Amino acid sequence: MRREPLSDDWLRPAVMGIVNVTPDSFSDGGRYASASDAAATARRMLEDGAAIVDVGGESTRPGAADVSQDEELRRILPVLELLEGCPVSIDTSRAGVARRALALGATMVNDVTALRREPELAEVVAEAGARLCLMHMQGEPRTMQEAPHYGDVVSEVASFLEERLAVALAAGVAEERICLDPGFGFGKTADHNLELVRGLDRIVAIGRPVLVGLSRKWTLARVVEGPEARLGTDAASVGAAVAAFDRGASLFRVHDVRSHVEALAVAAAVERGTVTP
């Protein structure tokens, strides 16, 4: 079931496997006892059909505290060294971490702050000719879920992403190397998240591939299990991914790779009207 790594024209649909080497991420924090465990999981994800794996060493769950750059590097570098030759994205908002990861073979930087934490990150990406994902977040992880408010969440997220795209382009990042993420769960209520999925075509219309990170998010748990639920199921995650694909999303950041790869393959075949691409 293995697929080719992301090509220059961005495969659609493409699945990105999540490998959090953190003690406190919302779904898989503390899961990996060693770098070899994390790397083995990443390789299984690639065998299951992921086009790329996203390695992160700093949690961005609601309420998460910052870690030092040294600690972030301590967590990720041993994993990246074991993944040499594999398609890897680095989930970081720090220029120094990105520089080290790109030197070890990462080909993409996934920045949840959209270049606001360290603007010099754009130059690192541009110099390396790497891909860059720019994500919307209202506030910052420690406070983002404290009464998030929007007049029109879809329009405001789209305007933010257009602005950050312009910043990246001005810093020298090639437009064809950039994708956009509306940031489900990052400074949004459950209803905001659902409205963003409904209006995803507005984000797609910006003209860059759209990455969605709906996997196991608490919005899905609330839909299925009620207001006290906190962790969405993989089945609910797949349903949300297919809904996002139907509205134009290209990349899907997920925990359970195989189920998403299979479901999205069927969704893509229905969209084409043929079995083979």
Residue type, 154: V
- Alpha-carbon distance of 56 to 110, in angstroms, equals 9
β-sheet with 251-254: strand ranges across = 178-181, 131-135, 108-111, 88-91, 52-56, 14-20, 251-254, 211-212
Range 151-169 burial, b when 16+ CB lie within 10 A, else e: eebbeebbebbeebbeebe
Catalytic pick from 75, 99, 216, 253? 253
Q: Report the chain's terminal Cα–Cα distance, integer Å.
A: 15
Q: CA torsion angle for 233, 239, 240, 241 (degrees, to 10)?
A: 110
CB 17 within 8 A of CB 40: no
User: Known catalytic residue: 217?
Assistant: yes
Residue type, 152: D
CB 252 within 8 A of CB 17: no
3-state helix, strand, coil in the chain (%, to 5): 40, 15, 45
H-helix or E-strand spanning residue 37: helix 35-47
Catalytic pick from 164, 216, 217, 247? 217
In terms of Cα–Cα distance, which of 85, 172, 87 is closest to 125? 172
User: Known catalytic residue: 253?
Assistant: yes
Catalytic (active-site) positions: 217, 253
